[in-house]
Amino acid sequence: MAVYRRLLASRVRGQLAYPLSFGLDLLAQALGQTIELVVIVVLFGRVHTLGGFGADEVLLIFALAGIAFGLADLVVGQLDELPRWIRTGELDVLLLRPLPVLAQLVTADMQLRRLGRVLVGLLVLGVVLTRAPIAWSPVTVLLLISTPLVGAVIIGSIWVATCAVAFWVVEAREVANAFTYGSSLSTAYPVTVFAPWLRRLLTFVVPAAFVAYYPVLAILGRSDPLGRPDAMRYAAPLVAVASVAVAGLIWRAAVRRYQGAGS
């Protein structure tokens, strides 16, 4: 751990060296998230429920998913750079160090500005908690704390798995982007708003529904309107473990596939 802390420290120091520029970057990220918030608010100016959920309930999903997304982006967002590492052959250097390649890529940089999204999520969460019909209990409190963290693990795993595509098709940035920004959209709304095939995809294949939707059902003390078992509301940690395992397998296969740039 000390290794990664040291690898990161220099990067983080560099960003904070220019506070104004850092502040603006942070603001820009927060603004992006705020626009998505505005979309939801405008929608609820027209309708009273979305997929069977009221405004505060949807905003609870939005807030928790936003925090999870921001945290995942902070940690594994560097994987955007993977095609460059592969194209230039700089990945060779990482393979020559006695550390896991993924851990080195992730700690090669950490953009603190990505916390902007987390901040907006926390603000919305603070407001929504006073208004939403929450079934308060120790379990609810635990869920509120664990959901963004577990959700970040799920989103991060999805990204690692999709970014690994770059080892097969170097310029696969579009594929990865589809999942990155797709996961922002698909986690922030109740899955009930999507078409049935998409719901099944987001529940059983790319488990975005477990990032915020299912845990929020438990927090609200509601059953799934689609009639799925109540146990699924608490399944997010298990889903996270499975996601990490699958992403890990895909990543391993991908690194073995690496051929290296010509010398």
89 part of the interface to other proteins, by CB under 8 A: yes
Q: Which of 3, 127, 141, 145 binds other proteins (CB under 8 A)?
A: 3
CB of 260 to other proteins, least distance (A): 6
13 part of the interface to other proteins, by CB under 8 A: no
Classified as helix, coil or strand, 156 is helix
169 part of the interface to other proteins, by CB under 8 A: no
Q: Which stretch binds other proteins (CB under 8 A): 70-78, 79-87, 237-245, 252-260?
A: 252-260
Determine the Cα–Cα distance for residues 70 and 116; give it in Å rounded to an integer.
Answer: 8
CB of 6 to other proteins, least distance (A): 6
* CA distances in angstroms from 154 to 16, 62, 90, 185, listed in the order given: 29, 16, 28, 15
Q: Which of 24, 95, 139, 198 binds other proteins (CB under 8 A)?
A: 95
Give rounded-to-5 percent helix, strand, coil for the chain: 80, 0, 20
Q: Which of 6, 84, 87, 131 binds other proteins (CB under 8 A)?
A: 6
Residues numbered 171-190 forming contacts with other proteins, rule: CB under 8 A: none
CB of 178 to other proteins, least distance (A): 23
130 part of the interface to other proteins, by CB under 8 A: no
The sign of the torsion formed by the CA atoms of 147, 64, 245, 89 equals negative
Nearer to other proteins, 93 or 127 (CB): 93
Closest by CA to 75, choosing from 12, 187, 15, 152, is 152
Nearer to other proteins, 17 or 205 (CB): 17
93 part of the interface to other proteins, by CB under 8 A: yes
CB of 177 to other proteins, least distance (A): 24
Q: What is the DSSP string of 78-131?
A: GGGGHHHHHHHTTHHHHHTSSS-HHHHHHHT---GGGHHHHHHHHHHHHHHHHH
Q: Which of 32, 90, 133, 142 binds other proteins (CB under 8 A)?
A: 90
With 0-12 CB in 10 A as exposed, 13-18 as middle and 19+ as buried, what is 166?
A: buried
* 53 bridge partner residues: 50
CB neighbour list of residue 118: distance below 8 Å, 6 or more residues apart: 66, 67, 70, 71, 74
253 part of the interface to other proteins, by CB under 8 A: no
Please give the residue ranges that form the binding site for other proteins (CB under 8 A): 2-3, 6-7, 10, 14, 89-90, 92-93, 95-100, 256, 258-260, 262-263
